[in-house]
Each structure stands twice: as structure tokens, then as C-alpha cells.
């Protein structure tokens, strides 16, 4: 099924069930008022939500028009947002771009940072930036939302812990990153609010494209409506989502509603393009001796989406504009 959050002017919005074609939707206050409430009581409400989804698709119940301009992020705020770097090929390139070496253990142990989860941007919400000197970049990624995960969980115990899957634009301020990381505490100022896809979907919506830990479909990104990249999210993923969850839960519990990101989707096959500007700039340095592609400017737009084998949009489209924060 497909779930989203309507912007009812409250912090957590209102949970809605969306039909498969992303045309109509319906509120379900008798089942769960918010996405987080649904996640907190998943075992009790999942069958009821699935039944609404089936009736909506069959035309048994009427729905309202699904309008992405009236949405919040599916989880407007989350208890935890932890983003991995599962595509180590990407990590290696970006670290080279800022003159950093990559330790050998990056190939055997995931890298992860804890993002700001108190404000998640909706799919068409502007990205507010106070200075372009920060080096504004997008990062197209896949995310999963977990159920409660115990500390020290084993990979083989995670089959039913991934409840929902979606997309994210993990915005990065590239020119702030080197100085911030040199202090040894990780990202903070260099990672503003992230933007999320209109809907999150249950794994069964993805069919054979989802293997339990990877989503084997191209992830399309566009800058100003021009295709920037379409790498396959299931190829060259050094650590799958189960690996990332095990890593995150090594020394802590993960509560229902925890969001885990894949990191920037990247393929070794460069013909598929890139999912962020920094990676493309690094490739330009390698090939041409200097970067050519600029970072994002005011009024630039970023679109991110994923299509199934029938060219149907699975999660809806992230479509954000860079605007000046005054």
C-alpha cells in the first residue's frame, strides 16, 4: 500500500492512504490519525489500512484528488533519521574531491551520520539557503522506515522490521563539510533539512524489484528538468539496508519510525550519470583536471523519482526549488 501525510497545519499532519496510481486518497482517522501513530501500532492497524487501500483501488470507496502541494513529508518529524553511505564507490569519489583518503575498513563497515529529524521537508517544499557560498548540492537516495528494532539485532532477524520504503533528497552544503568534519564530530551545519517523496510504500508494492534489502530499480534525478542521473539503486550497493540497520542498532535500540537512508545512489558504470553534483564534479576533475558543473543556484529545481517496469511512478516525485532564506 501507499501512505502519505496531508498538511492539516498541525506538526504531524494527517495520515492518508493513496491509491496505486497516485490519483486519489482518503483519510483514515478511525485507524490512525498520523503516520507515526500507524507505525507505533503497526500490527493492530496494518490489515485495516491494507483493506482501505484495496477498496480505494477497486473504486469501492470514493477518494479525494491526491494533490502533492497539500502534503507534508510522509513522516514530518521522526524519532531518528540516520543516513548511511552504502555505495562505497560514491564515498571514495567524494572524499577524493575534498582531499581526504578513504580507510580500508569503509569496504567492510558502513559509514553513517545522524541527521536532523525534527523537520522533514515535503516533496515540493522549497529548500531555503542563506548563502550560495555553502555549495548547495542534492543527493538522491532510497530510505526505509523500521519497526522497533532491538539493540544488537542480527541480520537474519530483520525480515519483518522494514515497514515502508521511500525516496529522499539529502541536501548537502559541500563547502561547509571539510571544516566541519575536520573537527571530528561529523555533519551538523552542512546538513540542512531533507526532502522526502510524496508517499512511502510497503515492500509488497515493489514486487521482485525489492529483494528484502535492496531496491533494484533506477533512481532518476533532474536539475532544471534535465536528466542528471539514473543509476540503479540495487547495483554496487556495498551494504544493503539490513546491513545498515544492524550497524545502527549495534549499541542502541531503534524505535518504530526510524528512517534509515542508503546514501547517494551511485554506479561504477558512469553512463548512468550521478545522483549528486559532488560526484560529477569529482569525475570532471579526474577527466578534465577541473570541475565544470556548478553547485545549485537560486531558483534551480531538483526532481527525484523512481519508475517501475511499467514506467509508473512508484513514490511520486520530489520537486524542490532552491530559494534565498532572508
pLDDT top residue among 92 and 114: 114
pTM over 0.85: yes
| pLDDT tens digits along 24-62 | 999 999 999 999 999 999 999 999 999 999 999 999 999
**What are 111-133's pLDDT values in tens digits?**
899 999 999 999 999 999 999 99
Q: Which pLDDT belongs to residue 97? A: 65
pLDDT, residue 101, reads 74
What value does the mean pLDDT of the chain take?
95
Vertex 240: Cα angle to 234 and 241 (nearest 5): 115
Domain ranges of the chain: 2-70, 81-324
SS3 state at 71: strand
Structure confidence at residue 98 (pLDDT):
62
CATH architecture of 81-324: Alpha-Beta Complex (3.90)
| Residue 11 clears pLDDT 90, i.e. is over it | yes
pLDDT digits (tens, 9 = 90+) for 217-271: 999 999 999 999 999 999 999 999 999 999 999 999 999 999 999 999 999 998 9
Helices (DSSP H) in 59-112: which residue ranges? Answer: 88-97
Q: DSSP E strands: which ranges in 99-214?
A: 112-114, 127-129, 136-137, 140-146, 162-169, 172-173, 195-196, 200-201
Q: How far apart are CA 213 and CA 230, in angstroms?
A: 20
Amino acid at each position: 500500500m501507499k501512505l502519505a501525510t496531508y498538511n492539516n497545519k498541525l506538526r504531524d499532519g494527517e495520515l492518508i492512504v493513496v491509491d496505486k496510481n497516485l490519483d486519489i486518497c482518503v483519510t483514515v482517522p478511525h485507524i490512525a490519525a498520523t503516520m507515526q501513530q500507524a507505525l507505533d501500532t503497526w500490527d493492530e492497524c496494518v490489515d485495516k489500512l491494507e483493506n482501505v487501500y484495496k477498496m480505494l483501488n477497486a473504486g469501492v470507496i470514493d477518494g479525494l484528488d491526491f494533490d502533492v502541494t497539500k502534503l507534508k513529508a510522509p513522516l514530518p518529524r521522526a524519532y531518528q533519521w540516520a543516513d548511511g553511505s552504502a555505495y562505497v564507490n560514491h564515498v571514495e569519489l567524494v572524499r577524493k574531491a575534498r582531499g581526504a583518503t578513504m580507510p580500508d575498513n569503509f569496504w567492510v563497515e558502513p559509514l553513517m551520520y545522524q541527521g536532523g529529524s525534527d523537520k522533514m521537508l515535503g516533496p515540493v517544499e522549497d529548500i531555503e539557503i542563506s548563502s550560495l557560498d555553502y555549495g548547495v548540492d542534492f543527493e538522491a537516495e532510497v530510505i526505509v522506515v523500521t519497526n522497533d528494532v532491538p539493540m544488537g539485532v542480527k541480520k537474519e532477524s530483520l525480515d519483518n522490521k522494514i515497514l515502508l520504503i521511500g525516496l529522499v533528497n539529502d541536501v548537502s552544503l559541500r563547502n561547509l563539510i571539510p571544516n566541519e568534519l575536520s573537527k571530528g564530530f561529523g555533519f551538523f551545519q552542512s546538513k540542512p533539512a531533507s526532502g522526502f517523496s510524496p508517499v512511502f510504500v510497503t515492500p509488497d508494492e515493489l514486487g521482485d524489484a525489492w529483494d528484502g534489502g535492496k531496491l533494484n530499480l533506477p533512481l532518476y534525478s533532474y536539475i532544471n528538468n534535465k536528466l542528471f542521473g539514473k543509476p540503479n539503486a540495487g547495483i554496487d550497493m556495498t551494504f544493503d539496508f539490513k546491513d545498515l540497520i544492524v550497524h545502527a542498532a549495534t549499541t542502541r535500540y531503534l524505535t518504530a519510525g526510524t528512517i534509515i537512508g542508503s546514501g547517494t545512489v551511485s554506479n561504477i558504470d558512469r553512463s548512468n550519470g550521478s545522483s549528486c553534483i559532488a560526484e560529477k564534479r569529482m569525475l570532471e576533475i579526474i577527466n578534465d583536471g577541473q570541475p565544470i558543473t556548478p553547485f545549485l543556484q537560486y531558483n534551480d529545481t531538483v526532481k527525484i523519482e523512481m519508475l517501475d517496469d511499467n514506467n509508473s511512478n512508484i513514490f511520486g516525485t520530489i520537486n524542490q526549488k532552491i530559494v534565498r532564506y532572508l
